[in-house]
Amino acid sequence: MRTIEWNDIENCIEMIDQTKIPLKLEKKFCKTIDSLIDAIKSLKIRGAPALGAVGGLGIALSAFQYGGEDREEMLGAIISDAKRIKDVRPTAVNLSWGVNRVLDKVLKNRRFATTLSGESIEDIRRFALEEAKRICEEDVKINKTIGENGAKLLNDGDTILTHCNAGRLACVDWGTALGVVRSAVEMGKDIKVFACETRPLNQGGRITTWELMEDGIDVTLIADSSSGIVMRNKMVDKVIVGADRIVKDGVFNKIGTYTHSVLAKENKIPFYVAAPYSTFDIERTGGEIIIEEREADELRKFGESYIAPKNVKVFNPAFDFTPMKNITSIITEKGVLDPGEI
Amino acid sequence: MRTIEWNDIENCIEMIDQTKIPLKLEKKFCKTIDSLIDAIKSLKIRGAPALGAVGGLGIALSAFQYGGEDREEMLGAIISDAKRIKDVRPTAVNLSWGVNRVLDKVLKNRRFATTLSGESIEDIRRFALEEAKRICEEDVKINKTIGENGAKLLNDGDTILTHCNAGRLACVDWGTALGVVRSAVEMGKDIKVFACETRPLNQGGRITTWELMEDGIDVTLIADSSSGIVMRNKMVDKVIVGADRIVKDGVFNKIGTYTHSVLAKENKIPFYVAAPYSTFDIERTGGEIIIEEREADELRKFGESYIAPKNVKVFNPAFDFTPMKNITSIITEKGVLDPGEI
């Protein structure tokens, strides 16, 4: 089952609603850009590679949503939707990447957005959809290659610590960090995983555990702050995480990744980042990127219940920055890279 | 208001039910050893120094609970209750310390537990209660002294990161780590605090935030895994935590403490432990102490809702071990100690 795909009957985007996992497996159908934006914002769909697919499919949806006959007007609508989609998760480079890649197909000159390519409105829809579907197919293929490249680094019997969810549900399929685990298991290696809960939205506790259990891979849930004790007690052989954005001097990933990297360095445990090339943004450095802060209520509330004082101040960054010196290697579809080579 | 005290009218133990904070301030009255054990187990009362008071008051309660006239039988009942109380939180050295200190007053020779001191059953009750109340009074005095000793280490304008709750509600009053903050504020210093949520039971999010806000001290809640970003970004000047047990070569404290200590070392931020002498167990070393593991459902569930797959494996240690080399100083009622001197 794919995490996200185009529904050819309804001409809409179909995705697994990840906020419902592990309680139930439920599909969300996005028939409008508003509902897509809501799905991205509320993390019904999340994960760097999946957001690339969302971005691409979002432009296709925009093209299908336009109901008029005026190419100028359609151009305006697509450009405006593209901006709205990209603005939902500004730190997630893949979202913009997916949007821009499909825009490149439908605009004659994206930089100036002067005109649409394609003779007819139908042409434009077709161009957009074909390219968006290509992103999805490539994502699966890329993840499988990342998996194969990374699996060679794992030994039979290894225990891996991972953070958040860089799995099947963060991608169109297979996964990046968990794709490496899956490929190693497929090669016949015995691999166990510690999944960090990943506060405040518990993607590790809810999603990583669920998808590994679905595949019959041995997984143990720990609190984020237990990563220290498991590393110090040599219960972990390697750390593998995904990435939201890889810049010249480091990696942006889910808040807590930097913490694990420091603990890994202290305890001499290899620390790997598994991510597709679409995550690379190496013209920039860490200092140039503004880390998005999410809503205070993610830490103040659980569902409708308050778990902290209602008006307590909160600092809730979505990501942190791990400097390259804390990273052993970056596993990509083009091979395993030394961070010094980036 | 005291966190825990003897109720002279009902002859029972009265405590703030900390599982209800921050939603409501509710008292729990323990009239039996069973209800006291339940209160300790379910963390209605927690925190190393408070557990010392619980242990002492528990023996007084046992003496008051004994309804017969037979000194031999009373001896047996107290010894048996003492063991039951100590067994609830085996890693928490203060609980045993409080129990043993009051036992020393009511038994002629605790090592052999041969007979009770005191002529009458009323005498024994009085001895137990006086000693237990003395523990409570001393705790407040000790915390104030720890606070004064530690406050000298803080500069006007400092931001402190703390973990779990080593505050008023972890003690009879004032607090250890937060006692240092309170004393510094009382001296007129401007101090801000980052409170780590402290999964899985959220003592930081629920209790530390609540008690600092009650006192008008500036507090910001963060996820445990945000301690890395705030330290790396120099948003924190000092880390101060409490301790559950201080052994020759390190400190046992709430799970996550070791993680913060490694991050502090990496980012050259002083890391202080504030604790009374009753927490010291320096005849032993870290390797000798078994860390209690708490129930898997603490990570699988929130209230009645599942937040992870129902049957996922969990590793949920209550404490971790921070080696002395990661600790800048230990703040006690007898002064600020260099970990090398322990």
B20: left (phi over 0), alpha (psi -120 to 50) or beta: alpha
Of B194, B213, B307, the CB nearest to A309: B213
* Rounded average pLDDT over A293-303: 95
Hey, is the C-beta of B315 within 8 angstroms of any chain A C-beta?
yes
Closest chain A C-alpha to B217 CA, distance in angstroms: 11
User: CA-CA distance, A19 to A43, in Å (whole number)?
Assistant: 7
Measure Cα distances from A293 to A59, A89, A170, A186, A251 in Å. 26, 10, 20, 38, 17
Asked if A326 contacts A264 with a C-beta cutoff of 8 angstroms, the reply is: yes
Q: Does domain B4-142 have CATH number 3.40.1190.20?
A: no
Tokens of B261: 């200590």
- Classify A77 as helix, strand or coil: helix
Of B256, B265, B308, the CB nearest to A22: B308
Cα B92-B97-B101 angle, rounded to 5 deg: 160
Hey, is the C-beta of B290 within 8 angstroms of any chain A C-beta?
no
Dihedral, CA of residue B252, residue B257, residue B263 and residue B264, to nearest 10: -70
Chain A CB contacts of B208 under 8 Å are: none
Question: What is the DSSP secondary structure assignment for residue A270, as one 8-state letter?
Answer: -
Q: Tens digits of per-residue pLDDT, B6-47?
A: 999 999 999 999 999 999 999 999 999 999 999 999 999 998
Crossing angle (nearest 10°) for helices B121-151 and B48-65: 170
Complex confidence, ipTM: 0.90
What SS3 string covers chain B?
A: CCCEEEECCCCEEEEECCCCCCCCCCEEEECCHHHHHHHHHCCCCCCHHHHHHHHHHHHHHHHHHCCCCCHHHHHHHHHHHHHHHHHHCCCCHHHHHHHHHHHHHHECCCCCCCCECCCCHHHHHHHHHHHHHHHHHHHHHHHHHHHHHHHCCCCCCCEEEECCCCEHHHCCCCECHHHHHHHHHHCCCCCEEEEECCCCCCHHHHHHHHHHHHCCCEEEEECHHHHHHHHHCCCCCEEEECCCEEECCEEEEECCHHHHHHHHHHCCCCEEEECCHHHECCCCCHHHCCCCECCCHHHHEECCEECCCCCCEECCECEEEEEHHHCCEEEECCEEECHHHC
Bigger pLDDT: A181 vs A278: A181
Catalytic residue selected from A173, A244, A281, A320: A244
* Rounded average pLDDT over A230-251: 97
Residue A209 has a pLDDT of 98
* Rounded average pLDDT over A34-46: 96
Chain B CB contacts of A209 under 8 Å are: 308-309, 312
Catalytic residue selected from B81, B158, B244, B281: B244
Contact B209 A309 (CB under 8 A): yes
User: CA-CA distance, B35 to A240, in Å (whole number)?
Assistant: 45
Mark the binding-site residues of A, compressed into ranges.
46-48, 89, 203, 253-254
Count CB pairs under 8 A between chains A and B.
183
* Rounded average pLDDT over A35-47: 95
B72 pLDDT above the threshold of 90:
no
Give A306's Cβ-side CA count (13 Å radius).
15
Asked if A263 contacts A227 with a C-beta cutoff of 8 angstroms, the reply is: yes
Report which listed range, B72-76, B192-196, B303-307, is most confident: B192-196
A241 pLDDT above the threshold of 90:
yes
Task: Pick the closest to residue B168 from B155, B181, B149 (CA basis).
Answer: B181
Chain A CB contacts of B266 under 8 Å are: 262, 265-266
Residue A7: phi and psi, rounded to 5, are: -95, 110
User: CA-CA distance, B143 to B170, in Å (whole number)?
Assistant: 11
| Sequence-ordered alpha helix ranges (H) in chain A | 33-41, 48-65, 71-88, 93-106, 121-151, 177-186, 203, 209-214, 227-232, 257-266, 297-300
User: CA-CA distance, A116 to A110, in Å (whole number)?
Assistant: 9
Contact A223 B206 (CB under 8 A): no
- Determine whether B158 is an active site residue: no
Structure confidence at residue A175 as a pLDDT band (50, 70, 90): very high
User: CA-CA distance, A59 to A104, in Å (whole number)?
Assistant: 11
Kindly state the percentage of chain A with pLDDT values over 70.
98
Tokens of B318: 């209550």
Mean pLDDT of chain B, nearest integer? 94
Structure confidence at residue B107 as a pLDDT band (50, 70, 90): confident
Interface test with A, best of B203, B208, B226, B230 (most A CBs within 10 A): B226
Dihedral, CA of residue B256, residue B261, residue B264 and residue B270, to nearest 10: 130
Contact B259 A259 (CB under 8 A): yes
Chain A CB contacts of B199 under 8 Å are: 197, 199, 223-225
Residue range A153-341, CATH number = 3.40.50.10470
Please report where in the chains the tokens 């997984």 appear, as a residue.
Answer: A219
Give the sheet arrangement for strand B250-254, strand by strand: B245-247, B250-254, B319-323
Measure Cα distances from B215 to A311, B27, B186 in Å. 14, 20, 11
Q: Tens digits of per-residue pLDDT, A123-171?
A: 999 999 999 999 999 999 999 999 999 999 999 999 999 999 999 999 9
Task: Pick the closest to residue A35 from A22, A56, A54 (CA basis).
Answer: A54
Residue B110 has a pLDDT of 64
Tokens of A226: 């237990």
- What are the extents of the domains in chain A? 4-142, 153-341
Contact B315 A220 (CB under 8 A): yes
User: CA-CA distance, B90 to B88, in Å (whole number)?
Assistant: 6
- Classify A241 as helix, strand or coil: strand
Chain A CB contacts of B286 under 8 Å are: none
B184 pLDDT above the threshold of 90:
yes
Pairing type for strands B301-302 and B271-274 reads unpaired
Contact A314 B220 (CB under 8 A): yes
Instruction: Please state which of the ranges A60-64, A105-109, A266-270, B160-164 shows the lowest mean pLDDT.
Output: A105-109
Question: How long is chain B?
Answer: 342
Residue B278 has a pLDDT of 86
Query: Which amino acid would we find at residue A161?
Result: L
Please report where in the chains the tokens 């697994």 appear, as a residue.
Answer: A16
Hey, is the C-beta of A317 within 8 angstroms of any chain B C-beta?
yes
Contact A315 B205 (CB under 8 A): no
Mean pLDDT of chain A, nearest integer? 94
Contact A308 B200 (CB under 8 A): no
* Rounded average pLDDT over B287-311: 94
Tokens of A194: 């510690």
Chain A CB contacts of B163 under 8 Å are: 225
